[in-house]
Structure 1
Amino acid sequence: MTVMNGDVRKPEIAEAQSYFAIRTREAEIAAPSLPQTFAQALRLAAEQQELIEQQAGQIEADAPKVAYVDNFLRSDDACLMRQLAKRIGLTERELREELLSRRVIFRTPIGRFSESKQRDVVEYRYEATTKYMGWFRERDQPNAPRHHNDQLRTTLYVTPAGKVGIASMLGRLDAGQNQIESEAA
């Protein structure tokens, strides 16, 4: 309001008034207009009905997939990193390195004494970053040898949401879907 009532002889005020006038006109032109005639209203209604029918068709096409997920998957179903890597066409190492570089997971070095090598070796414990915790489940491995501090070993599993999220993030969603579909067939 100050600019619109200001002195137009000042260049800054004139520029601001011009700016607001142009933006106001753009908003008026871009605003959706109501149909002015019965024929326009019918065309708009027909377009909206076509959109609804397309969406209903997509819902019908997706119904078997939804039923499969509802009946055979649980939200806590998860797979190992190597299984996901294979599905999306990577090695387990490539997948881990990619997730580390994108800060989806991080690793903590853990040392232990190797009986077979008769020396200390460095191993890593992988964990999800806070932002991506829903993509992973950390599960204890009670049958695996314990760490040097007698701590249980854990393995990071990828949840169904994580599978889709990771494949999408890496631009390999189609490769993963094709592999999953071929396994189901």
Structure 2
Amino acid sequence: MSHIMPDPARLPANTGPAGASPFDALRRLRPDGAEFWHARDLQPLMGYSQWSKLKTPLERAMAAARNTGLDVDENFARSGKVSGSRGPAQEDYALSRLGAYLTAMNGDPNKPEVAAAQAYFAVRTREAETAPAIVPLDPATPEGALALARQYVRVAEQLVHADRRVRELEPKAAVHDRFLSADGGDRLVRQAAKEMGWRESQLRGFLIAERLIYQRQRPCGGVEYDFYAGPGDHFATAETLVRHRNRPGQCAHYTLYIRPAGLALIQARVDKRRLGR
């Protein structure tokens, strides 16, 4: 297996302006040029700390492939990944582009890392499927004409599905990339609302309804917002000491910021509401 290696020269461009995607770096090629991703390589990038957690979306993806008539062994090839010089090889799968796409689509929608994987593989699947298809049979023969017609229908159906997913996911990926490429990545609520095309009051109300943040009163009587401990990695606050004319000493004011991972979390919550789940 030593002749299978990443091919940086042929990696596709990233979906957003921030540069090469980390999923590109994990892309590998077989001797025949077919690309694949190791499931264990994708595990941390999709936000799963344990292999057993990734097995759930993997098994769902394989079931979906099997139910739609896809070749499971071709798209989810079993393999073993050696973790060291001793012990048996760890369970792993070599995922085709379609296999990785199905795995991402069956992942936890609340994980921002899964949302990023969905956006990446949806765009890559569409790019691959818009490439001219190779028909091995002679289209001048009845068999070749039939094969061409079937291939056309299959690709057209895939493109309809992929286009729908790209229209849904590309805006999310673009917003996510703009956050990541900004200095520090953190945004005020009004800045995040503008990026999403929302009003600031609308976004604040949504965050409160989702129990991600809450409103509290300052000692001086003003109103400010803070985040709950659960989604703490997705938000941040900055303290500013303010002097008031009618109050002795200084008053601490806290400004709420949304981190890049917070934007993906918000988008996942929006999708969940839209789908009624």
TM-score class normalised by the smaller sequence: 0.3 to 0.5
TM-score normalised by structure 2 residue count: 0.33
- Give the TM-score, by structure 1 length: 0.48
Hey, which of these two has a bigger chunk of helix by percent? 1
| Structure of larger gyration radius | 1
